[in-house]
Structure 1
Amino acid sequence: MKILAVEKLTMMNMVGNRRDVDEVLKDVILFEDIEVVDAYTEIDNFRFTIDVTEEHLQEIVGFSAVCSGAHSIESRDFTDKLKLINEIFEDVMTFDKELLRGPIELDKVVSSVYTIYSAVHKRYEMLKLYKKDLAEIEKSIQAYQYFQGLEIPMEEINNLSHFEYYLGKLSKENVQRLKANYANVTAIVVHVGSQENDEVYVVITPKDMKTETERLLRSLNFAAIDGIKKEFKATPVEIIRWLEGKKEDFTDKIRKYEKQIETLKEQYAREGNFAYNVFLLYEKINEIKKEMAFTKDKFYFSGWVPVKEKKTVKTMLSKYEDLIVIFSDERPNSGGGSGGDGTKPPTKLKNNWLYKPFESIVKMYGMPSYQELDPTPFLSLSYLILFGLMFGDLGQGAVIFLAGFAINKKFEGFGSILSRMGLSSMAFGLFYGSLFGFEHIIPALGFRPFEAINTTLIFSILVGVVLITIGYFYGMINRYKGKDYYELWLGGHGLVGFLLYASMLLVALSLFTGNSALPQTMLFLLIGLSVLILFFEPQIKSKIWKIHRKREETEEEKGGAERFFDVFEVLLSIVTNTLSFIRVGAFALNHVGLFIAFETLAHMVQNAGGSFLILFIGNVFIIGLEGLIVGIQVLRLEYYELFSKYFSGGGIEFKPILINNQGGKK
């Protein structure tokens, strides 16, 4: 059962000398498997405990004088300078935690940051300024090109007494709207060119009609073209010639500064990258300090640590003088791997390479609580089995596998799941004897769905029965681990619910086969008894566990009608959950039938090339669309028919401290 359990965690409390806090936190961060908890809150709620001994007297007395680290501040000047360096050195800055493992002389790092800043910031600011001016020049050149036909100075046009003009563009759709409303236009509209998919116009309107014209242009989504400047007074051709000269001058200056900055980047690449990594580390240290508590001389830290890592953590921190490290599961009456005092631990899933990618599917539904079994292994295997049964094809499965492998670097989780789905499809393709839809190229190791329709449908229901049964046992184990004994024994998804389910299955089996594993009288008696227990469960609970008074305080007693519908819902879900799995067989048949349709079309085409094209398109369609639909249907079976039996969720994901926000606690 250990393989199905979530990772056991323990609360770690630390008290140390304030002068060591940065080095201790550096080790904690680089360990990458500790989740921070607000130490001040732990102390305030009397959960931060250390052994009461003379040796720890000063630390215990310090509890009365602690203050939160929430107001920890950092040097904005240093931060701003390093952010500018990061902006400049963007292509050479990389996170490498190995650079941080050795001793860090912060004074030297700060000095190197100021040195690099002094060398590059003026050049970089000038480079940005010239680039901004160059962009404005290019806008102006483009704008004045639409006026090249004018031989009069722009000063005269800009100083018109009774007219206003606008340069802008309209989409082709809005051009048609404009043409349809020419009679209502209070302006002269002149087409002067095109820009990508839009048409460029100059609109000239009397100043008295300016408001109406602007309202019309807004309704047409008229996009103004920037670049016309009042200070440019010559003719458009002369303005463009002057701007082209400025553009060339600015381009030369930009190249000069870029070359200087590239030289400086090469010179300071190593120091800059180290400073960048140190900045990320201390940025994270400052974040953690906000969740710590401090006195004048001491710091107090709390965090969740995997139980299996305790020895490693102790060894790592043993180099610090007077550092007290206490784990909650080492205290008397601690309650094992939990906080030992009612604190709810987060959930850390532990799965091998086969199951790991499917954790994302579990998390979409909810995070398992700390006491629950990890549903990922069961979900992984059942998902692959169901997908393979519904989409069994050796060739198409190989395509899905290769697609998953191809996208795995960019979409690691999804690509890994897709490749596993492809392997499952290939395995069941061998079982069905199917290769790219063709049923008679390779032999079937099992049966061919279209030649054994009843077998296919019955087999799919049997698979559903097995999976639902495992789900019931999963749920009962979870209720036992969570000490929910009432639901374990009397609940609809507990022992009584399973007995009802098993009895109804045996009755259905005897009706179809004529044979019964148990006498039908006994089966009907079990069904009746289970229904009565479910109906009278509140009364039975109050009698057995003697908690009727507590129940009245926490929830209102259900009436007879409501209990009737609860029992009816349990009976209905037993039937519908089981019959839902018939879709597994239905999709297996649909998979074959869909290809037969494309194969028939291919035979109708009296051309080898055309037939091949139709079969190719058919396979692409089946892999893409049907593969997607089958994947969604399997997910539906997992969530609605299986998870409802055993998975309650409600857990909090374990988020270790990671630098550079590598998926951990930010």
Structure 2
Amino acid sequence: MSPFTCRVNIVVVERFLKGLGVSEVVEVAVVAPRHRAEQVVEELMAFQDFHPAERQRHRDARLHELEHRAEAGFVRLQTAIQELGVKDSVGLIDMLANPGKVVQRELTAEGLAELLNRLDSESKPLLDTVNNLLQERKNVSEKLERLESLYRLFKKVGDLDLDLDYLKTIKKFHVFLGFSSGAELAELRRALTNSAVVESAVEGFVLLLIVSKKSEGEIVERVVKGLGVKPLAIPPEYPPRLKEAVKLLGEEVQSLKKTAEEVEEKLKNVVAKHSDQLVSLRDSYVIVKDALARIGGAGVLKSFALIEGYVPAERFDVFMHTVGSKYPVLTVDRAKHHHEEAPTSLKNPSLIKPFEKITMIQGLPSHREIDPTPYVSAFFCIFYGIMFADLGQGLVILAFGLFMLRRVSGDLKLWAKLLVFLGVSSAFTGFLLGEAFGFKIGDTVGSPQLLHLVEEHGEAKTFNMAEVQRLLVFTILLGVLHLTVGYVLSIVKYWREGEKGEALAVKLPTLLMYFFGIFFVLAFFGAGGSIPNMLVVSNPAPLVNLPTNLVGTVGVYGSLACVLVLMFGRYVAGLAHPGHKTSLVSSVGMG
């Protein structure tokens, strides 16, 4: 094949693939008076397919103020949602069990500032109510915790039959009654060896009674203060007598518990009534905040706003009609001014779009590459059908996919469509083999039963080796087709990027070496597993039905030729200028 013919074939393949997968993008710059920057952003948000450039840009003060307002609103609502424990996303199980749970809400406004004003006015009274209830819950909880601790301690003192009034009348000894967490007991005993320390556990606290000589009272007070032991005394707002104080504390604890329950009930009502509103308002702030963060740059000019970005080529005319009719739009020649990596815009039809999820597992292709999603869709379905060839299981997957498709929304619909395709593939392959849930049903459903891998002779079961070989041959050929498509896409990719030497000297010979390798293997089997006889015997080689010595010759010498091209191709391509210049040693080493 001449270089001219090779180049024509690659260009033809490139033109065939050009319209698939990855959309061409146009780099544009919108120019507008700076006082109209907000209106430009609104127009670009309405267009939806404008992707702003990622390079550092000057921030317009007005747009930055709006972005700050949106971020502050988001933070306020997000905090309230987290404090209330509102479930702010609907999972798959929720959608399947309750498909009407997802309710879309539409907010309209004449501009970004008016939209933020509306969001603020709607969220403020709701947030005030929520924050007041949360603050009340916090205050009640803190007071209840404090009073419950006192109540338990005083009740324990009463159970121990300690008379606080009597302890105060003792003159010859220093008596300290207090409580602590209990961790400092060992240190307390070591520090007060001359004092009697009596302890009693009280639900998270330790009640302490320390009796010492009157002369050591100052030492005791200093030690207990240093270790954080708090004195137990009836607060002045309660009756001085212990029993009366305990009774009043018990009444207050019960009253606070009732108040806490009422506050919790009010918060539950707010969540039940306004949780969707809280989430929708939060998401609205997010949309405005993210849009302004992405589009809010306005260039370094003082009087004009300059917003740069990318538009899909197929929507460029619509962009010029909606935005270009109001503001000057400049296009940038990326071949001459390549500042950054352009974004990738995929344009697969609806039947293939679900398989973008599989492609995204390996990462999004760049704008210069070919989107492999159309090929992934075909091969993934075929391989899945081969691996899970069962009519019954395939129909179950298909039924679940259709059920899911009717009940879910958003991104989950693509996963539902993917299950539908995989269910069809599995069921179809299972029908061709005549199997359902592991049972043979070929005669019942009229299946062609293309493969009979297991032969039954009475109760004995054996593998049908001829059928096994047919299956192996089919899978090998399918694998060859898969690799061929992959390498063709790789060759076209390098050709598009101007790496013609890499495409012709590396990728193309690698692809051809796989084909020659297949000929080598066929000749090896045709010669009965003997390498020396591969170039001698003339009996037909399997699969191709050509003389084994001919197939072996093509396989051996074709593989050697590809190895030589891989070793010296980069060096020759550098001399002939389709590739980068490289030394002979580097070419051989990389080959």
* TM-score normalised by the chain length of structure 1: 0.58
| TM-aligned CA distance change 1:252 to 1:17, over 3 Å | same
One-letter identity of the residue aligned with 2:567? F
1:417 aligns with 2:418: yes
Deviation string, structure 1 residues 392-450 (Cα, Å, up to 9, x no partner): 11112223334445566387254443443222211111121111111246434421444
Deviation string, structure 1 residues 51-107 (Cα, Å, up to 9, x no partner): xxxxxxxxxxxxxxxx5548963166797578657877999999979634x623846
Moved more, 377-386 or 415-424: 415-424
Deviation string, structure 1 residues 165-221 (Cα, Å, up to 9, x no partner): 4389xxxxxxxxxxxxxxxxx99786x8xxxxxxx766567999xxxxxxxxxxxxx
| Matches for 1:118-517 after TM superposition, within 5 Å | 124-136=130-142, 139=145, 150=156, 152=158, 161=176, 164-166=179-181, 238-249=248-259, 282-284=288-290, 286-288=292-294, 290-318=296-324, 320=326, 323-328=327-332, 334=333, 338=334, 341-343=337-339, 344-405=341-402, 409=408, 412=412, 413-440=414-441, 442=444, 443-450=447-454, 451=464, 452-491=467-506, 494-513=507-526, 514-515=540-541, 516=546
Give 1:489 shift.
1.5
> Is the CA contact (8 Å cut-off) linking 1:407 and 1:415 kept in structure 2?
yes
One-letter identity of the residue aligned with 1:359? E
Deviation string, structure 1 residues 606-639 (Cα, Å, up to 9, x no partner): xxxxxxxxxxxxxxxxxxxxxxxxxxxxxxxxxx
- Residue in 1 that maps onto 2:33: 17
- Residue in 2 that maps onto 1:4: 20
Partner secondary structure for residue 499 of structure 1 = helix
Residue 528 of structure 1: which of 556, 560, 568 is its match?
560
Give 1:507 shift.
2.8
CA distance in 1 between partners of 2:475 and 2:299 (Å): 58
Give 1:248 shift.
3.1
One-letter identity of the residue aligned with 1:385? I
| TM-aligned CA distance change 1:120 to 1:394, over 3 Å | closer
CA RMSD of aligned residues (A): 4.9
CA distance in 2 between partners of 1:257 and 1:396 (Å): 47
Moved more, 452-461 or 538-547: 538-547
> Is the CA contact (8 Å cut-off) linking 1:13 and 1:303 kept in structure 2?
yes
Partner secondary structure for residue 11 of structure 1 = strand
CA distance in 1 between partners of 2:266 and 2:557 (Å): 93
**Corresponding pairs, count:** 472
Give 1:149 shift.
7.0
Deviation string, structure 1 residues 247-277 (Cα, Å, up to 9, x no partner): 3356557878999x89x989xx99x999878
| TM-aligned CA distance change 1:376 to 1:205, over 3 Å | farther
1:74 aligns with 2:89: no
| TM-aligned CA distance change 1:77 to 1:530, over 3 Å | closer
| TM-aligned CA distance change 1:479 to 1:277, over 3 Å | closer
CA distance in 2 between partners of 1:111 and 1:99 (Å): 9
Give 1:487 shift.
2.0
Give 1:468 shift.
1.6
Partner secondary structure for residue 551 of structure 1 = coil
> Is the CA contact (8 Å cut-off) linking 1:293 and 1:300 kept in structure 2?
yes
One-letter identity of the residue aligned with 1:16? A
One-letter identity of the residue aligned with 1:428? T
One-letter identity of the residue aligned with 2:132? M
1:33 aligns with 2:56: no
Moved more, 364-373 or 140-149: 140-149
CA distance in 2 between partners of 1:38 and 1:447 (Å): 56
> Is the CA contact (8 Å cut-off) linking 1:10 and 1:339 kept in structure 2?
no
- Residue in 2 that maps onto 1:49: none
* TM-score normalised by the chain length of structure 2: 0.65
> Is the CA contact (8 Å cut-off) linking 2:32 and 2:306 kept in structure 1?
yes
| TM-aligned CA distance change 1:403 to 1:107, over 3 Å | closer
Partner secondary structure for residue 354 of structure 1 = coil
Give 1:299 shift.
0.7
| TM-aligned CA distance change 1:204 to 1:463, over 3 Å | farther
> Is the CA contact (8 Å cut-off) linking 2:21 and 2:374 kept in structure 1?
no
Moved more, 272-281 or 495-504: 272-281
Partner secondary structure for residue 28 of structure 2 = strand
Give 1:123 shift.
5.0
CA distance in 2 between partners of 1:341 and 1:110 (Å): 41
Give 1:296 shift.
3.2
Give 1:528 shift.
2.1
Higher relative contact order (CA 8 A, sep 6+): 1
Structure 1: tracts of 5 or more residues without a match: 42-66, 169-185, 193-199, 209-227, 329-333, 567-666
> Is the CA contact (8 Å cut-off) linking 1:433 and 1:448 kept in structure 2?
no
Moved more, 301-310 or 454-463: 454-463
Deviation string, structure 1 residues 135-169 (Cα, Å, up to 9, x no partner): 33565687679779736189989x9837744389x
> Is the CA contact (8 Å cut-off) linking 2:494 and 2:502 kept in structure 1?
yes
> Is the CA contact (8 Å cut-off) linking 1:507 and 1:520 kept in structure 2?
yes
> Is the CA contact (8 Å cut-off) linking 1:34 and 1:303 kept in structure 2?
yes
> Is the CA contact (8 Å cut-off) linking 2:370 and 2:493 kept in structure 1?
yes
CA distance in 1 between partners of 2:204 and 2:53 (Å): 62
Give 1:132 shift.
1.4
CA distance in 1 between partners of 2:345 and 2:391 (Å): 36
Moved more, 236-245 or 379-388: 236-245
CA distance in 1 between partners of 2:87 and 2:472 (Å): 60
State the identity as a percent.
19
| TM-aligned CA distance change 1:375 to 1:107, over 3 Å | closer
| TM-aligned CA distance change 1:303 to 1:417, over 3 Å | same
| Matches for 1:533-552 after TM superposition, within 5 Å | 533-545=565-577, 550-551=581-582
